[in-house]
Amino acid sequence: MKTMLITGASRGIGAATALLAAERGFSVAVNYNKTKGDAEKVVESIMQKGGLAKAFQADVSNEEDVIRLFEEVYTEFGNLTSLVNNAGILEEQCRLEHITRQRLQRIFESNTLSTFLCCREAIKRMSPKYEGNGGTIVNVSSIASRTGAPFEYIDYAASKGAVDSLTIGLAKELADENIRVNAVRPAFIHTDIHASGGEPNRIERIKETIPLKRGGLANEVAEAIFWLASEQSSYSTGIFIDVTGGR
Residue 245 binding ligand NAP, by CB under 6 A: no
Sheet with 135-140, strands from edge to edge, namely 53-57, 27-32, 3-6, 82-85, 135-140, 179-186, 240-243
H or E stretch including 40? helix 36-48
For 43-104, give the DSSP string: HHHHHHTT--EEEEE--TTSHHHHHHHHHHHHHHH-S--EEEE----------GGG--HHHH
Neighbour count for residue 25 (Cβ, 10 Å): 12
| Torsion sign (Cα): 87, 111, 170, 79 | negative
Task: Please tell me whether residue 142 binds ligand NAP under the rule CB under 6 A.
Answer: yes
Which amino acid would we find at residue 168? I
Contacts of 148 (CB under 8 A, 6+ apart): 154, 157, 158
- Range in contact with ligand NAP (rule: CB under 6 A) among 44-52, 87-95, 100-108, 223-231: 87-95
* 197 binds ligand NAP, rule: CB under 6 A: no
- Compute the least distance from the CB of residue 98 to ligand NAP, in Å: 20
Q: How many residues does the chain have?
A: 247
Q: Rule CB under 6 A: is residue 136 a binding residue for ligand NAP?
A: no
Amino acid code (one letter) for 50: G
Interaction residues for ligand NAP, span 89-108 (CB under 6 A): 89
Q: Does 204 bind ligand NAP (CB under 6 A)?
A: no
At its nearest, how many Å lie between ligand NAP and the CB of residue 113? 10
- Is 32 among the residues that bind ligand NAP (CB under 6 A)? yes
Does 145 engage in binding with ligand NAP (CB under 6 A)? no
Q: Which is nearer to ligand NAP, 110 or 132 (CB)?
A: 110
Sign of CA dihedral 66, 72, 78, 81: negative
Is residue 161 a contact point for ligand NAP (CB under 6 A)?
A: no
- Interacting residue with ligand NAP among 140, 154, 158, 174 (CB under 6 A): 140
How many helices, marked H, and strands, marked E, lie in the chain?
10, 7
State which of residues 6, 118, 149, 193 lies at the interface with ligand NAP (CB under 6 A): 193
Is 130 in the active site? no
Closer CB to ligand NAP, 15 or 132, in the complex: 15
Out of 135, 186, 197, 245, point to the residue binding ligand NAP (CB under 6 A).
186
Task: Name the residue nearer to ligand NAP (CB basis): 111 or 132.
Answer: 111
Query: Does residue 230 touch ligand NAP according to CB under 6 A?
Result: no
- Residues in the site for ligand NAP, rule: CB under 6 A? 7-8, 10-14, 31-35, 59-61, 86-89, 110, 114, 140, 142, 186-189, 191-193
